[in-house]
Amino acid sequence: MAFLSKQTAPTLPPPEKRPRHIGFILDGNGRWAKKRGLPRKLGHREGAKTFKTIARYCRNLNIPYISFYAFSTENWKRPKDEVDALMKLFDQYIDDVREFFDLETKLIFLGDKERFTPELREKMLAVERDTAHFDKMTMMIAINYGGRDEIVHAAKQVAQLAKDGQLDPDTLTEEQFAQYLYTAGVPDVDLLIRPSGELRLSNYMIWQCAYAEFYFTNVLWPDFSPKELDKALIDFAGRGRRFGGV
């Protein structure tokens, strides 16, 4: 008589088959709260807890670069009370990310900081200064970020340099242009993960995701666990990345 063995946990792919840069679109916080009859802001609070858990797990896996889409340039259109709650949460986020100092993680905030209060902006800049020397992992948080806005921002810098005679537009390469993006010096996204069942980029890193592998799941962000990330990593390792080749 044969006995069924206990189901074992899936084996993670070896480091060389893991992505260097994982991007996360933090989606589903509001729906998570609505399903439970809770205010949307409580969903965002739970999502913040998931953010910490996943960031630490990525550090344990030695993923060199991770990025999180927390607040887009379009999110200002949401109801004022929700935006106000998010701003308060971001303020707490910035205090909390100092927890990652023990992980020797560099923190970078992507997006236009000018929209924020001087106090919040200075907090972001202070964290970036205080973690600039860390090299174990780079964690990017996109706040007031939009992919198109980022490209326009870079194009304006390039245009000014050309106008000033410091750059020849005819010799401009993709690699040079990328140095004017918010992610200058960071490799492109290898794996883009979006929970909540939505199947779109929503204006996130549209330049950097040119050859990213997309992983979509119906799990809402507050419920996204390390086990869910394991599934995405296993799926990623099984894909053939040809970058336009054969």
Q: Please indicate if the annotation marks 200 as binding a ligand.
A: yes
Chain CA centroid to CA 43, Å:
18
Is 76 annotated for ligand binding? yes
> 168, 162 in Cβ contact below 8 A?
yes
Tokens standing for residue 217: 């799941």
Residues 141 and 203 sit within 8 Å (Cβ to Cβ): no
75 is a catalytic site residue = yes
* Total residue count of the chain as it appears in this document: 246
Q: Is 111 annotated as a binding residue?
A: no
- Ligand-binding annotation for 78, yes or no, is yes
Q: Is 5 annotated among the ligand-binding residues? A: no
Identify the CA nearest to 68 among candidates 60, 79, 58: 58
Judge whether 27 counts as a catalytic residue: yes
Residue 37 marked in a binding site? no
202 is in an annotated binding site: yes
Give the angle subtended at the CA of 24 by the CAs of 245 and 56, to the nearest 5°. Answer: 115
DSSP H helical ranges for 23-179: 29-35, 40-60, 80-96, 118-131, 147-163, 174-178
174 is known to lie in a ligand binding site: no
DSSP 167: -
194 annotated ligand binder: yes
- Kindly name the residue from 75, 91, 96, 230 that is annotated as catalytic: 75
Active site residue ranges? 27, 75
* Binding site residue list for substrate: 28-32, 40, 44, 72-74, 76, 78, 194, 200-202
Point out the annotated binding site for Mg(2+): 27, 213
